């Protein structure tokens, strides 16, 4: 899932995400507008802050490989 979709579907504001990730709301706005790239470290932080709904490899496929096998939440539900 991309970041904009996550914010919209989960009712999370840019400010809320910024607080969770440790950046300013302006930085989140820059990410969403494509004015700034998301670093690998922040991609990891976003994945954690969104409980895996937005995955690091979706944000930075140039750095992170897509995981293989079921996602952790799929295993927990089984």
Q: How many domains is the chain built from?
A: 1
Query: Which pTM was predicted?
Result: 0.83
Domain that residue 46 falls in: 3-77
Query: Of 15, 21, 23, nearest to 54 (Cα)?
Result: 21
Provide, for the chain, the percentages of residues in helix, strand and coil under a 3-state DSSP scheme, each rounded to the nearest 5. Answer: 60, 0, 40
Residues 49 and 10: their CA atoms lie apart, in Å, by: 12
Residues 25 and 67: their CA atoms lie apart, in Å, by: 29
pLDDT of residue 68: 82
39 pLDDT band, cuts 50/70/90, is: very high
CATH number at residue 33: 1.10.260.40
């Amino acid at each position: 899932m991309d970041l904009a979709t996550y914010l919209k579907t989960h009712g999370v504001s840019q400010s809320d995400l910024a607080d969770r990730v440790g950046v300013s709301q302006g930085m989140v706005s820059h990410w969403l507008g494509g004015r700034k790239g998301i670093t690998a470290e922040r991609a990891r932080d976003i994945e954690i802050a969104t409980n895996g709904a937005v995955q690091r490899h979706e944000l930075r496929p140039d750095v992170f490989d897509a995981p293989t096998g079921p996602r952790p939440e799929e295993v927990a539900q089984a």
